[in-house]
Structure 1
């Protein structure tokens, strides 16, 4: 069921474009609901409060599934929630607009859409292609790995933390939590992402330039002080063997996005193998 849910979710999130299929819609509703009981300042007061904020929807969903305890209902509900959580319509649209502007030679629009994509995602010394690699990780690869090993409970919890951490580029003003909440979310994600980024980086090594990427992957694998984001992006960049043309602003992003897509396919293949082996049900 895990593999089938993933395949349906990955296909459906590109087709179902209504706001009711977008995570941000429900996140905004949830923030509004939470404000009826506690203030935004209380949510962001400390990490414990933020964890409770992220755990509540995941826990309610788990209780509902436990009460029904029916295989078909469980499959349908889990798949629907996964469709809502996985991917980001805003990011996909901005990337398409970026490519279209580049093909037209509209440099002003290229810069505008690049800024759109990097809003709330800037990282020192990171190229635009590496930013897209990180987005692919947060909105696809991490959620897929968490779903395989921790189920839909983990997916909802992680997706809420990502929404809080990236809120400046995700939501309207009403859905914003104080910056302190975003800081707490980033600290939590730093530790949560340590193992998944190693696994995803290993995938980049396999689908890319193995001999080049393996050295960097091994060097950083046990360096837990290094940012998971920096580690993953560096491995991804060295795994894709390319030469950058300064006049072609789409070369690096497109190559790294294609590399990321190959990695998604590798994870799906690995999930199929784990399903056959009985590791994933």
Structure 2
């Protein structure tokens, strides 16, 4: 049943054009903003003008989770105020922010998981897991932005090409061509929005997918920075096994001998970010640009497609052998 749900979700993602409401991030973001509104109401009732930055639950495009909370201390109070006091403490903001993010991370998974547990029927479970998997797979606007990038490259418009790359990823390494930047973005986004969803769905089911997608929405797509927020730390831990399974697939569908060294070098490094490890292995597993040690976009797309096919075949084999139901 899991295999059928996966195949249906992949077919819908491939052949049906969806708007923003066709992706899970839209609904998770709406739930996130709803909780922010509740916090604002509670803050006003308690006499606060606005919630502290550390309490914010805004999506990554609204608030940077790595930003240090701004707090009012005695040093920043007016000197002529005899009753000047420290209004807030940094650790209080951090604890409140972690509690808020924990609610956002667990609430959707507990709600859907509890519903599936109570209404324990095969048909209802199949419909729900197919719907969640369909919404979780893919990134809104990715294909359109990628086509615009290819058109800009054909025109030779480097500035526009960099602009389209920045629409998909927040990081543009200095000294790299837009083709190399897009190739790395394709590898990373194909992992984050496809490969890891399939792996987590096979291992943890619908609740695991919901937790991962919520953490992904809160933490953002650029994971080169050290994890600071609860969501980014959760992603750093959860990504450890899926990214190594995905890069092992790169070895099997790409140049094994050339990428094996990079895979073995980082397979046990817990502190290594998933994005850096994935790109390091992928850059050696696929064809390189002529006379350059950089990954090209077409090679990255083909590598990601072959790896997705490998994951689907592996899921089918596990289903036929009874490991997955």
TM over 0.5: yes
Aligned partner of residue 69 in structure 1, secondary structure: coil
Structure 2 Cα separation of the partners of residues 204 and 167 of structure 1? 21
Q: What is residue 270 of structure 1 aligned with on the other side?
A: 314
Q: What is residue 199 of structure 2 aligned with on the other side?
A: 145
Q: What is residue 145 of structure 2 aligned with on the other side?
A: 94
Structure 2 Cα separation of the partners of residues 26 and 60 of structure 1? 14
Map Cα deviations across residues 33-61 of structure 1 (whole Å, 9 max, x no partner).
Answer: 21243357536534454233111011101
Structure 2 Cα separation of the partners of residues 235 and 131 of structure 1? 14
Q: In the alignment, is residue 65 of structure 1 matched against residue 116 of structure 2?
A: yes
* Pick aligned residue for 1:42 from 55, 66, 69: 55
Superposition pairs of residues 109-120 of structure 1, within 5 angstroms: 109-119=160-170
Q: In the alignment, is residue 132 of structure 1 matched against residue 186 of structure 2?
A: yes
Structure with more helix by fraction:
1
* Pick aligned residue for 2:262 from 213, 216, 229: 216
Q: What is residue 252 of structure 1 aligned with on the other side?
A: 296
The alpha-carbon deviation at position 93 of structure 1 amounts to 1.8
Q: In the alignment, is residue 229 of structure 1 matched against residue 253 of structure 2?
A: no
Q: In the alignment, is residue 154 of structure 1 matched against residue 208 of structure 2?
A: yes
Q: What is the TM-score when the length of structure 1 is the normalising length? A: 0.86
Q: What is residue 27 of structure 2 aligned with on the other side?
A: 26
Structure 2 Cα separation of the partners of residues 167 and 206 of structure 1? 26
Map Cα deviations across residues 171-202 of structure 1 (whole Å, 9 max, x no partner).
Answer: xxxxxxxxxx9733222211111111111110
Aligned partner of residue 39 in structure 2, secondary structure: coil
TM-aligned CA distance change 1:227 to 1:19, over 3 Å: closer
Structure 1 Cα separation of the partners of residues 210 and 55 of structure 2? 21
The alpha-carbon deviation at position 167 of structure 1 amounts to 7.3
Aligned partner of residue 38 in structure 1, secondary structure: helix
Q: Is contact 2:19-2:140 (8 Å) kept?
A: no
TM-aligned CA distance change 1:10 to 1:124, over 3 Å: farther
TM-aligned CA distance change 1:196 to 1:48, over 3 Å: farther
Q: What is residue 3 of structure 1 aligned with on the other side?
A: 3
The alpha-carbon deviation at position 242 of structure 1 amounts to 2.3
Structure 2 Cα separation of the partners of residues 97 and 143 of structure 1? 26
Structure 2 Cα separation of the partners of residues 72 and 255 of structure 1? 40
Q: In the alignment, is residue 205 of structure 1 matched against residue 251 of structure 2?
A: yes
Q: What is the TM-score when the length of structure 2 is the normalising length? A: 0.75
Higher relative CO (Cα under 8 Å, sequence separation at least 6) belongs to 1
Corresponding residue pairs, total: 265
Map Cα deviations across residues 95-142 of structure 1 (whole Å, 9 max, x no partner).
Answer: 1211122123333321221121223x5578984112221111111111
Structure 2 Cα separation of the partners of residues 244 and 61 of structure 1? 50
TM-aligned CA distance change 1:270 to 1:160, over 3 Å: same
